[in-house]
Amino acid sequence: MKLSKYIDHTLLKADASKAAIEKLCDEAIEYDFKSVCVNTCNIPLCKEKLAGSDVLVCCVIGFPLGAMSTEAKVAETQDAVAKGADEVDMVINIGRLKDNDLDYVTDEIAQIKKACGDKTLKVIIETCLLTDEEKVKACECILKAKADFVKTSTGFSTNGATFEDVTLLKKTVGDRCFIKAAGGVRSKEDFAKMIELGANRIGTSSGTKLIEKGE
């Protein structure tokens, strides 16, 4: 696979302007990235800008805290898919996971997966807030709910993806689901190492610096 197709070209800042989102889309087409990852209000603009290309529109749900009600997350997912989202990156309820309420976590992921239909669902577990044991439990919930990816981080908490976390996630899920490393991947060396360790997708706002055009 081309290196560029590992990248979800990301802009999730609260002050992201229309011009900035349009630039994100233009860069995604120019560098042939896998997707742009944006907040849901920007889905229609991205669909318009990316029309005719194979760049996907990815959006975030329950972002960045994950503490919304399941019903709110499901409704947000349904709205995003209706507006044209190709992929959905949801944040789990981290508090419920830390309470060991694994049925809640699994059921919520499963409901959102159902709302996605045939669209790809990536599940953000915010590894920087979890113990290794909790990371493994989160992966087990994701596998049980039949989501497509486990994703390390929002990029908005205390830390992003680490080599150690990607190694642990790969050991836990094997080939049963994919892995997205997100947050803090800003050098070509880190990018290559994450892929080597098992990441199938990289979420980054530094995509244009990580690869050369055409890679």
Tens digit of each residue's pLDDT (9 = 90 or more) over 9-61: 999 999 999 999 999 999 999 999 999 999 999 999 999 999 999 999 999 99
The 10 Å Cβ neighbour count of residue 156 is: 16
9 and 20 Cβ atoms separated by less than 8 Å? no
68-102 per-position pLDDT tens digit:
999 999 999 999 999 999 999 999 999 999 999 99
Kindly name the residue from 119, 135, 137, 151 that is annotated as catalytic.
151
Asked if residues 166 and 179 have their Cβ atoms less than 8 Å apart, the reply is yes
Whether residue 178 has pLDDT greater than 90: yes
What pLDDT is recorded for position 215? 80
Domains delineated in the chain: 3-210 (3.20.20.70)
Provide mean pLDDT across the span 90-115: 98
Which one is catalytic: 119, 122, 135, 180?
180
pLDDT at residue 40 in the model: 98
How does residue 1 score in pLDDT terms, banded at 50, 70 and 90? confident
Q: What is the mean pLDDT of residues 103-123?
A: 98
- Per-residue pLDDT of 154-164, as tens digits, reads 999 999 999 99
pLDDT of residue 211: 87
- 176, with CB counted inside 10 A (0-12, 13-18, 19+), is exposed
89 catalytic? Reply is yes
Closest CA to 153 of 89, 74, 80, 77: 89
Question: What is the per-residue pLDDT for 212?
Answer: 79
In this predicted structure, the answer to whether residue 214 has a pLDDT above a threshold of 80 is no
18 counts as catalytic: no
Query: Residue 52: its pLDDT value, please?
Result: 97
Q: What is the pTM of this model?
A: 0.97
What is the percent of the chain with per-residue pLDDT over 90, rounded to a whole number? Answer: 96
Would you say residue 186 has pLDDT above 80? yes
Pick the catalytic residue from 89, 148, 165, 190: 89
Active site residue 23: no
